[in-house]
Amino acid sequence: MGGSRYLGAHLVGMLLRNDSVERVLAIDSVKPSPQHRRRMRDAEFVRLDPQSPRLQGILREAGIDTVVHAGLHHTDFAPGGRAAVKEANIMGSMHVIAACGRAATVKRFVLISSTSVYGSSGVDPAMFTEDMAARGQPSGGIPLDHLSVEGYVRGMSRKRPDIDVTILRIPAILGLPEPTVVGELLVPSVAPVLAGYDPRIQLLHPQDALDALLHATTGAAPGTYNIAADGVLTLTQAIRRAGHIPLPVMPAAFRLAARLLSSQGLRDIGPSQLRYLRYGRTMDTTRMRTEFGFTPRYTSEEALHAYLVDSGAEPLITRTSLERKTATLARRLPAPMASRLRAGVDTTIGELEAMGALPDPIEEEAP
């Protein structure tokens, strides 16, 4: 399920190259893009709404023994907004899980969930293990969607103990067509951040996500696993590595700042995502290595660097251009906010110089 999306389409292509896989059937409610269709090669594709009663019959008639649910939305930035995302995540998943539970041929079920199920709060542990729960029950949004779907999957497992269930909880993956909060903050030259907070974040490279998904699909030990890269970054570090300036703003002014400075995605940011920008979230991945048998190839810092290179957002700026753009923007801001902006510029310049990512100024030749 979710065969038309990035992870689903790429997984299909990887499975077709696996000699142990006899048949691959991709299902989604929308047609794959030409690029994703090429990735899927000659795989069978069925365009079907997940809520269709035909799904159970298709699984049974095709003799499907492994189902991968890669169709969950991980942000509210999708077309149609929160209402459409909730409909797809909750109602769509309920029908998929029910169909799998009634299909006798299904023996393995893999769900791509997210680390958002742990929530974000000021009393969180340094790192969440898979056995921990959110310090406060999510009240809505993506965290509650994913937590609910995980519950539906476990309910199916209790009724059908013969089905091996694997739940992969992944953090932000930069570079996918579906935007992320972190990715949206790496776009504008001046990115709003919450004053007084610098959340810790973990990332995951797209290839590591695909490798983990393939491992889960082709026979890894079932269970619930945090899948995340080694290492932790702070949000302002990530923004500065992109050659951009973090601008601290008060929480009440964040949406206003987003409208002025950032892309459309952050203008529709929800409460759970705002809590993430305040407190962050990091995960323990011991079980991923010892029981699941997987180690990501990229660290969080390497995943960020790869994204910046691939997206063309490398920090190739000069001190002069940075200071000039800052002066122009500062004239449009209230004095306190302009002062914080200038302080952020000085910090960013220092960090980029330490990285060797700030080009030396070009000296003019003497006449």
The pLDDT of residue 72 is 85
List all residues 6 or more positions away from 55 whose beta carbon is below 8 Å from its beta carbon. 27, 48, 95, 96, 99
Judge residue 220's burial from the number of C-beta atoms within 10 Å of its C-beta, 0-12 exposed, 13-18 middle, 19 or more buried: buried
Tell me whether strands 233-234 and 200-201 are parallel, antiparallel or unpaired.
antiparallel
d(CA 113, CA 168): 6
Beta-bridge partners for 112: 168
259-275 pLDDT, tens digit per residue, is 777 655 566 677 888 89
Residue 299 in this model has a pLDDT that exceeds 80: yes
Q: Is 139 exposed, middle or buried (0-12, 13-18, 19+ CB in 10 A)?
A: exposed
DSSP label of 229 = -
The pLDDT of residue 287 is 96
User: What are the pLDDT digits (tens) for 312-339?
Assistant: 654 545 566 667 777 777 777 777 777 8
Which pTM was predicted?
0.83
Which pLDDT belongs to residue 202? 95
- pLDDT of res. 316: 43
Please, what are the domains in the chain?
A: 6-173+204-228+281-296 (3.40.50.720)
Instruction: State pLDDT tens for residues 175-219.
Output: 887 778 888 888 777 888 999 999 999 999 999 999 999 999 998
Pairing of strands 245-249, 66-69: unpaired
